[in-house]
Structure 1
Amino acid sequence: MNMTQAQEWLRSIPESFCKTALTDIDRTLATIRAEHDVIIPLAIESGSRAWGFPSHYDCRFIFIRPMAQYLSLWPVRDVIEIPLTQELDVNGWDLAKAVRLLLKGNVVVMEWLSSPIIYGMDTAFQTQFMALAHRVCSRPLVARHYLHLGEKQYNRNCNGQGQDMRLKKLFYALRPAIALRWLRLHPAENVVPMHFPSLLRECELEHGTVEIIDDLIRAKAQTRETRLVRMPAMLDQLVAHEFAYAHEAFDHLSPKISAHAMTEADDFFHQQIRSCHR
């Protein structure tokens, strides 16, 4: 299946990117297109590396199947997963799944749409999908998603107990807290920046706090993610405060998805499917 419409294709890969890993990812995406007969309008790097933390490679993509499969009584899986290797983790979601999760406040889709590392992207698709996110995403649902992600790690690994924890897990608690702070400071916004250093710059943090976080980022880049560290007291207080504020600000708000948002999502989905099969 081939995209027949005129499109502008974007690719954005850092100079420091491992050439072998890039070749493997490109080859894997080409194989997926051929074997599953899908269009992939968006393929990006997700997770730690795209946040600005050197790590292994997490390629994520959104795919669109042939029209007949959307009309069939026997729908196929809405995910495509490739077996993990030591360096690569490659999997993707059907567009329908991605749109539904976006409406539920799942921040993963938003992060894919704003990743700075792009293996291949139809710019019109990304622009229209991101515009949909800004129009229909519920701030309470987005906040609750970050709160759930962050508290799960915080309560399990930190919670002011002064215990050592894996460096990777520390950021799994810290980053959602910083995202919640960003939402608090930007009351008209609902799509949080993905790139962590950029996010920090927009959060009005004290200089000493930023220095501590920068030191942890450097440590993550230079050592194994399994290294044990202790959550600095200043960051522990920051995380606890932002989670508490988020509960106060968002717990009482309705998580219901509006009928208007559902209609807009339907329209976007139909438009993309039709565009791919002209």
Structure 2
Amino acid sequence: MKILSAHPIEPLMRERVMDELTAIEARHDVRVLFACESGSRGWGFASPDSDYDVRFLYVHKLDWYLRVEPQRDVIEVPISDELDVCGWELRKALQLMRRSNPTLFEWLDSPVIYREDAGVGEQLRTLKSAFLSERKGRWHYLAMAKKNFRGYLQGETVRLKKYLYVLRPLLAAQWIDAGNGMPPMRFADLADAMVLEPALREEINALLAVKMAAGEAEHGARFPLIHAFIERTLAAEKPPSDFKKPTGDATALDRLLLDAIGQVGAFLPKHST
């Protein structure tokens, strides 16, 4: 039994996202290099009323990088209806890659890409495996699973979507423990590989069917097999001791940043004397 998955992006919403990215470029005088879906629509279990969580990477012209005082390196657009748009400046993103940031790695693996500079996107995906810290990624996912389990799944009636916000990071940690490297963003890929018990897979599909048909705030009774799996897995959690260390060369990140700025056609401004 395959795990259910869907990535619903309405054509009109895709067009709206593309228009918003173009407007951001004009408003902030930047170039958007990469934009993707990062939330439940990217994970594959969106509700009908789920937001569109658009995340992007951008680069400024050269003079922005040559200022004495650090400049703001995040662009956030006020949430409008169901559209949530936020971006990181490329140097910030590369600093986070050097620190093995799982969120950035997930963006690069998103099954829903709105825009991508082919050269930059390819370089980022090539580099991410060299900067992956299995230990840091595992800690990130387990902390997320524990926080959501404690905060949302303790009653007899629970907010159903929170099961997926525990299951996904829990399975991601198991993926890392199995020596598979960076976990895939799609929940179905994780569950198909890591959940082998037929009855548990069936209950996960039942949960997904409810989540993908109901609203984000839907509450309901516990799913007993899922709940027991989470409790059992968290109780038995014991960190392995043989993680591989990242092997990335930071100079490769410097070259990528320089190349990306150069592609914008940015030059030092000429001043008259």
Range class of TM-score, shorter chain: 0.7 to 0.9
2:91 corresponds to 1:103: no
CA contact (8 A) 1:147 1:246 kept: no
Contact residue 51 and residue 82 of structure 2 kept, 8 A: yes
**Aligned mates of 1:68, 1:247 — CA distance in 2:** 49
Offset of residue 259 of structure 1: 8.6
Confirm whether residue 51 of structure 1 aligns to residue 43 of structure 2: yes
1:236 counterpart = 2:236: no
Matches within 5 A, 1:1-278: 17-54=9-46, 55-158=50-153, 161-185=154-178, 187=179, 189-244=180-235, 247-249=238-240, 261-277=249-265
Secondary structure of the equivalent of 2:169? helix
Provide the rounded CA distance (Å) in 1 between the counterparts of 2:158 and 2:251: 44
Counterpart AA for 2:18: D
**Distance in 2, Cα, partners of 1:96 & 1:247:** 35
Report if the CA contact (8 A) 2:131-2:247 is conserved: no
8 Å contact from structure 2 (residues 138, 173) kept in 1: yes
Moved over 6 A (4+): none
How far is the alpha carbon of 1:181 from its aligned partner?
A: 1.6
Matched length: 258
Contact 1:105 1:145 in 2 (8 A): no
Change (3 A) 1:246 1:136: farther
- Please give the alpha-carbon distance, in whole angstroms, between the structure 2 residues aligned to 1:191 and 1:67: 33
Cα distance, 1:244–1:119 mapped onto 2, change above 3 Å: same
Identity across the alignment (%): 32
User: d(CA) in 2 for partners of 1:89 and 1:47?
Assistant: 10
Return the offset for 1:180: 1.1
RMSD of the TM alignment (CA)? Answer: 2.5
Cα distance in 1 for residues equivalent to 2:240 and 2:212: 35
Separation (CA, whole Å) in 2 of partners of 1:243 and 1:68 = 50
70-79 or 239-248: bigger deviation: 239-248
Q: CA deviation at 1:203?
A: 1.3
TM-score, normalised via structure 2 length? 0.85
Rg (Cα) greater in structure: 2
Task: State how far apart, in whole Å, the 2-side matches of 1:242 and 1:272 are.
Answer: 43
CA-CA distance at 1:75 after TM superposition: 2.7
- The gaps in structure 1 that reach 5 residues or longer are 1-13
Q: List alignment gaps of at least 5 residues for structure 2.
A: 1-5, 267-273
Instruction: Check conservation: 2:130, 2:248, Cα contact below 8 A.
Output: no
